[in-house]
Amino acid sequence: SFDLHKHFVDDIILCSESGQPMKRESDLIDVWFDSGSMPYAQWHYPFENKDLVDENKAFPADFIAEGVDQTRGWFYTLHAISTMTKQDIAYKNVISNGLVLDKNGQKMSKRLGNAIDPFETLQKHGPDPTRWYMITNAQPWDNLKFDLTGIEEVTRKFFGTLINTYSFFSLYANLDHYVFSDELEGVELAEIDHWIISKLNSLIKQVNVAYENYEPTKAGRLIQSFVIDELSNWYVRLCRKRFWKGELTADKKAAYYTLYLCLREVSVLMSPISPFYSDQLYRDLTKKQNSVHLSNFPNHKEELINLNLEEKMSLCQQISSLILSIRKKEKIKVRQPLQKALIPSRGVDFEKAIKEITPLILSEVNIKELLFIEQNDPMLKKKIKPNFKVLGPKFGGKMKEIAKVVNQLTMDDVINYEQNKHLNLIIDNEKICFDEEAFDVVTEDVPGWKIATNEHITVALDLQISTVLKNEGIARDLVNRVQNIRKESLLDVTDFIEISIKTNNDIKEAINHNLNYICSETLAKKIIFENDIKNPFFAGDNDNIQLSIEKIN
């Protein structure tokens, strides 16, 4: 052992591999100040690579990141040195990292027992889900409340959805021996293909801007929303039947092309945040050995972005969401068909846009008709209610008079308020203009109907279920159960079957009236009614259907 103080270390001389003497650097001022020479020292400036620094080829730095405690340390030192030597900045972008706290917002410490072992976390959850969670859960400059359940949710919702979407594609693409080509010959894309490709190019455009602005949180959230909401929950679900078709038709090729393109571009977009999974997805898709990190980053194609189509599909999603919310509230499952829904018209252009997407809406929410009514139709009983939280502090004692005047408003007054976002009322002989936050517009239900509304659209749903609709619902339930039994029995998607059902007068009529639909959806050659079923499966609302299936060779 020996003393490492300066006056002893100064006398120590080490020998390099080339035989040259090595001494302690005597002009070290401060470790952070020394780190401030990074933009120069990394190039051995000014002894080598002078042009890289002097001609700004590798200077100033694009980006640096450190904790907020370095505001007067490293951040300042870099600029101070650069100002003295070049009269210029040392870096273009900087982020002050927030702290990683426990899920309750407390600092992690062994003493409090709230510290999370990073190595155990990576071992259990993997680096990509951990990184994705940390980056998308909070902006880099904000503190992160670290919760392991958040990683589990990211793994399930985002990575799980992406894995399932790829598995769906690969299953049918392999069956059809589909090979992707950038050139579409003899194939015409459907409108929903054009829509998702437009959304994809909008995504590429937005993600590129986010990355260039050093906003990885925004980029990750955009990618996640696209994969879950647009690609999986909308495009794939609405296009499933296109992939299920037996032959490799032109329409099926268009669906394969579109889904492949989306998955491939997503794999590249997510690669800066999820380097391992994106690489695996990219290689699986392209069948190439080259890494995704050696591929060109995608650029959007402006000519493929159709904002009118995106807006039209957004209308479709909003209307579908409102109808599905009524179903959920009334506990009417989507497999049970309903007769019709009504939408108040907002003009010719609105009706034209809705009519173009009506088939999609009908398919998505399982109703037979979508009709338009006038804004003041008796079906829509709307009222205005004062927002006491907003108006109370401002008007105090006048609230009673405001409520009285509001209760006397007509349906036309309510519609004008909805459209113009303001309302002029005479309160105690004084004219007062109320803005859109002053009142809430509520819609009253009509017997047999339920109404839902958002900021832009109102929908009335007919809840009455006829015998025909009920029978169709039974048939759809049966199809769903048979499909699940096929999966449990490990049957191939192309295997034909025979279905045996225990005789039941309550459901026999429903099955006979929907026989072709059931057989085509389940690949059943025939359905047999029998008095007894051995080892049956159960279906129906109350497990009142006993059935079995058998593969036909």
Answer whether residue 130 shows pLDDT above 70: yes
Which tokens go with 279?
A: 């690489």
- pLDDT-derived band at 448, boundaries 50, 70, 90: confident
SS3 string, 105-116, reads: CCECCCCCCCCC
| % of the chain beyond a pLDDT of 70 | 97
β-pair type (439-444, 496-502): unpaired
8-state DSSP, 518: H
- Min mean pLDDT across 127-131, 285-289, 361-365, 442-446 is at 442-446
Q: What is the pLDDT of residue 338?
A: 97
Residue 472: how many CB atoms within 10 A of its CB? Answer: 21
Classify each residue of 232-270 as buried b or exposed e, where b means 16 or more C-beta atoms within 10 Å of its C-beta.
bebbbebbeebbeeeeeeebbbbbbbbbbbbbbbbbbbb
End-to-end CA distance of the chain: 83
Distance (Å) of CA 66 to CA 72, 80, 94, 212, 371: 12, 17, 8, 19, 58
Cis omega (within 30 of 0) for bond into 127: no
Better-scored residue on pLDDT, 316 or 24: 316
- pLDDT-derived band at 126, boundaries 50, 70, 90: very high
Cα–Cα distance for residue pair 551/528, rounded to 1 Å: 14
Residues 91, 62 contacting (CB under 8 angstroms): yes
- pLDDT-derived band at 390, boundaries 50, 70, 90: confident
Answer whether residue 223 shows pLDDT above 90: yes
Tens digits of residue pLDDT in 19-74: 999 988 777 666 666 666 777 778 888 889 999 988 888 888 888 888 877 777 78
Strands (E), 374-505: 381-386, 422-427, 430-435, 439-444, 449-453, 458-462, 496-502
Q: What is the pLDDT of residue 476?
A: 92
Average pLDDT, the chain: 87
CATH 3.10.129.10 fits 467-552, yes or no: no
CATH 3.40.50.1860 fits 146-305, yes or no: no
Distance (Å) of CA 510 to CA 345, 470, 472, 479, 520: 36, 8, 7, 12, 16
Answer whether residue 505 shows pLDDT above 90: no
Q: Where are the domains of the chain?
A: 6-97, 146-305, 308-373, 381-445, 467-552
Tens digits of residue pLDDT in 350-372: 899 999 999 999 999 999 999 99
Answer whether residue 213 shows pLDDT above 70: yes
- pLDDT-derived band at 314, boundaries 50, 70, 90: very high
Tens digits of residue pLDDT in 506-545: 788 888 999 999 999 998 998 988 888 888 888 776 677 8
β-pair type (91-97, 61-67): parallel
